[in-house]
Amino acid sequence: MRAPLSLAVRSVVPLLAAVLVVLASQGAHAHRLNLFAFVDGQSIQGSAYYSGGGAPGGAEIVAYGPDGAEIGHATTDADGNFSFTPTQPVDHRITIATADGHAAEFVVTAAELPAPLAAPAAEPQAPVAADEAEAGEAPPAAESEAVADRPTDVPAVAAAPAIDPAELESLIGRTVQRQIQPLRQQLFAYEGAIHMHDVLGGIGYILGLFGIAAYLMSLRRRKVAG
């Protein structure tokens, strides 16, 4: 048992060590195809890239609806970027497949789509607005009394309806989405990256697994010998 162990240690461990040194020096990279997309104005924009650097140019991007029908189509440029205009107010499952067997997908939900398309997704908001209107029905009487008491407030009350609540909501929605976009992208990149604890954990799994195998084999041999 001793000779083969030293044999492995002396000849292969240096190789493993060299690989780890290279890794540590250049940072760990994955070889996974990542796809990210977001809504910008009226179009869906996105980019595809390999975690280790490089991008699939000229790859075909196809978007599918919930029913599996093709609802969008694009081709990546040399930097892996693409964009297309969504035409249907449904979740877009955006997929990419390169000629060399890599694939990835990303979902842009209906709620993220540009305002005119997102209308059906925004529908649940309508009843809320109606509720507010109903709830508001009682106060107007009281409010009008208050208004009557203080005529100076009238301009303020009159100005309020100038901002349509639905429009305001969509405006806020779009602004918030634009603000959190870089954050989402960063989070996505972090998820796709290879972390050193995964690498070391994997090596630990391998050594542990083969350690168990060696133990079981030694048990069997002892049984045979006994």
Partner 1 sequence: MHIADGVVAVPVIATTSAIAVAGLGLGLRSIDDTRVPQVAVLSATFFVASLVHINLGPSSVHLILNGLIGVLLGWAAFPAMFVGLLLQSVLFGFGGITVLGLNLFNIAVPAVICGVAAREVIATSRPAVAAAVGGVAGAAAIAMTAMCVAIALALSGQEFLPAAEIVVLAHMPVMAIEGLITAAAVVLIKRVRPDMFPSRRTVAPL
Integer angstrom CA distances of residue 67 from 86, 147, 178: 16, 54, 29
Selected from 7, 69, 133, 176, the binder of partner 1 by CB under 8 A is 7
CA–CA dist 138, 198 (Å, integer):
61
**Taking a C-beta distance cutoff of 8 angstroms, is the pair 98, 57 a contact?**
no
222 counts as binding partner 1 under rule CB under 8 A:
no
154 counts as binding partner 1 under rule CB under 8 A:
no
198 counts as binding partner 1 under rule CB under 8 A:
yes
Based on CB atoms, which residue is closest to partner 1, 178 or 220? Answer: 220
Q: Coil, helix or strand for 113?
A: coil
CA–CA dist 197, 201 (Å, integer):
6
148 counts as binding partner 1 under rule CB under 8 A:
no
52 counts as binding partner 1 under rule CB under 8 A:
yes
Interhelix angle for 115-122 vs 165-192, to 10°? 100
Give contact residues for partner 1 (rule: CB under 8 A).
1, 3-5, 7-13, 15-16, 19-20, 22-23, 26, 28-33, 50, 52-57, 78, 97-104, 192, 194, 198-199, 201-203, 205-207, 209-211, 213-214, 217-218, 221
